[in-house]
Amino acid sequence: VNLPKNHPQRQLASHWSAERARQLLADSGLSDAQLDNLAHAIEAHSYSAAIPPRTLEAKIVQDADRMDALGPVGLARMFYVSGRMGRALAHPIDPMAEQRGLDDQAWAIDHIDVKLARLPGMMQTKAGRDMAERKLEWLI
């Protein structure tokens, strides 16, 4: 379930995705516990859902999702989404926010400091943190 970033129920997309995965895999032979863990990993991956991962698999999936926001692809996605949402590239007078507060709802470039630069510290695994820090170095 992929909802636009500004959809009012965006935080529910991963929950609906987990439910859909359960439906699709109901006859797969997976145990109830395996289906529970799979659904949890899907649901907990979402940044907007803010669900702490309980299993190693969920931590890895969450790290992978956040990793996707960093690096060249993440930068391209940031500009694409910002453009689709009608956000300007940067503040015309203070693009680096030296004399104003950050606002990534108005200025695309602010999203780097508001969210992306925080991602390495949010990683669940050491490998995820290390990779995210390298990707962030490229980004900034």
- Structural domains for the chain: 1-53 (no CATH), 68-140 (1.20.58.1910)
Is the pLDDT at 6 greater than 90? The verdict is no
pTM for the full model? 0.84
pLDDT in tens, 46-86: 988 889 999 999 999 999 999 989 988 889 999 999 999 99
Q: Quote the radius of gyration of the chain (alpha carbons, Å).
A: 17
Mean predicted confidence (pLDDT) in 93-120 = 96
Helices (H), the chain: 13-25, 32-44, 56-67, 71-84, 110-114, 119-122, 126-139
Q: What is the pLDDT of residue 140?
A: 81
Tell me what pLDDT residue 125 has.
97
Phi-psi region of 50 (alpha: psi -120 to 50; beta: other; left: phi over 0): left
pLDDT surpassing 90 at residue 3 = no
Q: Is the pLDDT of residue 108 over 90?
A: yes
* Residue 91 clears pLDDT 90, i.e. is over it: yes
Does residue 2 register a pLDDT over 90? Answer: no
